[in-house]
Structure 1
Amino acid sequence: MADTVRVRPLADEDWDAVVALERDAYTGLGLSEGRAALQSRAAASPDTCFVADVGARTAGYVLALPYPPHHYPDLTRTEGTAPALPPGNLHLHDIVVAPGLRRRGLARHLLRHLTGTARARGDERISLVAVGGTERFWSARGFVAEPGVVPVGAYGQGAVYMSKSVRAHPAPSPSTTLREVS
């Protein structure tokens, strides 16, 4: 049976599900941040943070916020109130899909939505720190490794900073168009 997928802005009532998804994804890597840090990152840029619903279930989320190139959130701290940055680089801090719903295209769907959002904001690049052996996944989506940016241990063993242009490969603009996942 197929369920409808919808990407929408992250809302206050989503936090229990987001925290559980983040904990399940990152605790084994020693990278789980907890509710306060996650909420501070979303508060820094609420227009670039989304959830994906499959039917009535929160199936995944993405947290992204403006950061200068070659910079990224400190996992040991919450985001402070910083001056608003002009568009340029949108840092994809977290993208998580529920374990039972992986390998169905939901992460790609969230990434397309985020790419369209970055383009609409006027950003030129999206950056991220690939953790837990995900560099190959991100490379397949156009991200290029920039070794040496992330200090050893800051994001776990083998973490690598990566980025891609949002202008190089046009993607569909953000949409709340529903599609089916089976």
Structure 2
Amino acid sequence: MTDAVRVRPLADGDWDAVVELERDAYGGLGLSEGRAALQSRAAVSPDTCFVVDVGARTAGYVLALPYPPRRYPDLAGTEEATAGHPPGNLHLHDIVVAPGLRRRGLARHLLHHLTATARARGDERISLVAVGGTERFWSARGFVAEPGVVPVGEYGGGAVYMSGPVPAARQTPAPTVLSPSAPTLREVS
């Protein structure tokens, strides 16, 4: 991939691309929600919804919103604009990358951006509902299944509620600074 990759806030002009990506990802599972539901989720928490661009193309998106632990959006409805929940748990509702651009690290870019956002908001956990057999993918990223939260048949067959702690910020080691009087390796040897 030679085009620049950029994660940015979801904008009004992105909705056609987001709706198409969502339909392609979830339509075959019978889980496509449609524009009104997607927009209602983003309206509740616009600061936690992003797209990833590859060059000039919208290549993927993430929709996340604050939700109490062990609860999740109803696929059959829209969110109330006033239904915002306090920080603590950020629910990752959708993360989608265009089929031709998968396995190139774009979902990782979105997830890292979302994790940094959750940390900055003061969230302690991120939750999601794994659908379409993605439980193993999410387990490898630190999410733990919580069986019995999602009723059988809701969110499709085999859907599993999962959550994980918001990881601490990665610490980069401070550069080693030698004082003018400190010996160098050559002087010591």
> TM-score, normalized by length of structure 1?
0.91
CA distance in 2, matches of 1:171, 1:55: 28
Note if contact 2:44-2:83 (Cα within 8 Å) is conserved in structure 1: no
Report the alpha carbon displacement of residue 170 of structure 1 after superposing the two structures with TM: 3.3
CA distance in 1, matches of 2:41, 2:86: 17
Partner of 2:169: 170
Note if contact 2:70-2:161 (Cα within 8 Å) is conserved in structure 1: yes
Partner of 2:111: 111
RMSD of equivalent CA atoms: 1.2
Q: Which structure 1 residue ranges, 5 or more long, are not aligned?
A: 173-182
Query: Residue deviations 1:123-160, cap 9 Å, x none?
Result: 00000000000001101111010010000111000000
Partner of 1:68: 68
1:9 aligns with 2:9: yes
Partner of 2:152: 152
**Corresponding letter in the other structure for 2:169:** P
**Corresponding letter in the other structure for 1:149:** V
Alignment size in residue pairs: 171
Partner of 1:127: 127
Answer 1 or 2: higher relative contact order, Cα 8 Å, separation at least 6: 1
**Corresponding letter in the other structure for 1:114:** L
Which structure has the greater CA radius of gyration? Answer: 2
1:25 aligns with 2:28: no
> TM-score, normalized by length of structure 2?
0.88
Partner of 2:84: 84
| Identity %, equivalent residues | 84
Alignment of 1:88-107 (within 5 A): 88-107=88-107
Q: Which structure 2 residue ranges, 5 or more long, are not aligned?
A: 172-189
**Corresponding letter in the other structure for 1:35:** R
Report the alpha carbon displacement of residue 83 of structure 1 after superposing the two structures with TM: 4.4
Closer/same/farther in 2, CA of residues 159 and 58 from structure 1, 3 Å limit: same
